[in-house]
A and B are shown apart, each in its own frame.
Chain A
Amino acid sequence: AQSVSQHNHHVILSEAASLELGCNYSYGGTVNLFWYVQYPGQHLQLLLKYFSGDPLVKGIKGFEAEFIKSKFSFNLRKPSVQWSDTAEYFCAVKDGNNRLAFGKGNQVVVIP
C-alpha cells in the first residue's frame, strides 16, 4: 500500500520568507503525486499535481513542487509567502485503484 510522510508538521514564518515543505512517498507503481491546501474552515483544494513529464511542477498561487524519483520525494516550495498562505498543506500519492493516501499535513502559519 502507498504511504506518505510529511515533516515539520508546524511551520511558523514571516511574510516574504521562503517556504519548503517536505514530502516522501512509498509506492511501487506509477507515481501520481498531489499537493492540496486547506485554508482555515474550508475544504481541500488542489495546489498542483505531477503524473508525468517535467518533474518541476508549477501550481496555483506561486507554488511549485519538484518530483525527485531517486529520493521518493515531492517537496513543495514558494519563494515568498504571504499572510494568506496560512493553511494546512497535504501531500498525497495515488494508487492504481484511484485511491489517494494523504500525509498528516503541515500546518503553516505566516506572521504579517
Chain B
Amino acid sequence: DAGITQSPRYKITETGRQVTLMCHQTWSHSYMFWYRQDLGHGLRLIYYSAAADITDKGEVPDGYVVSRSKTENFPLTLESATRSQTSVYFCASSEGVQGGYGYTFGSGTRLTVV
C-alpha cells in the first residue's frame, strides 16, 4: 500500500530558481491538497484540487502554481523561489466531501531556499 508519496524529501535551492515538488497517490482519491507548515503558523493551505483539471487557491497561493492533469498526481511548482518559501510542504488526499472523510498526508518535503 504505497499511499501518498512526496518527492523529494529534502531540497535545497537558490533564490530565483524554479522548483517542483511532486505528489502521487495510489487510491484515486478525488481531492488533493498542498499545505505548508511553518513554526507558529501551523498548516496553511496553498492550493487544492477537487478532481483532475480542477484546482483552486487556498489561503497562501502567491508564488505557487499547481496542475492536475491526472487524478493521481498533483505537483506544486514554485515559479521563482524566495527565502520566505523555506518551509515543510505536505501533500494530502481525501476521498470526498462527506463528513467522515479525513485527509491522508504524505511524508512531506523540507524545502530550503538559500
* Residue ranges of A at the interface with B (Cβ–Cβ < 8 Å): 30, 32, 34, 36, 42-46, 49, 51-52, 90, 94, 96-105
Contacts and interface: CB of A to CB of B under 8 A. Distances in A.
B103 to A, nearest CB: 6
A51 B45 contact: no
10 contacts: A30-B99, A44-B43, A44-B105, A49-B102, A51-B98, A98-B48, A98-B97, A100-B45, A102-B43, A105-B42
Contacts of B97: 96-98
A98 B50 contact: yes
Contacts of A104: 40-42
A52 B98 CA distance: 11
A105 B40 CA distance: 8
Contacts of A46: 102-104
A76 to B, nearest CB: 15
Nearest to B106: A43
A63 B48 CA distance: 30
A98 B31 contact: yes
Given A96-B97, A98-B50, A34 B102 contact: yes
B58 A99 contact: yes
B94 interface: yes
B99 A52 contact: yes
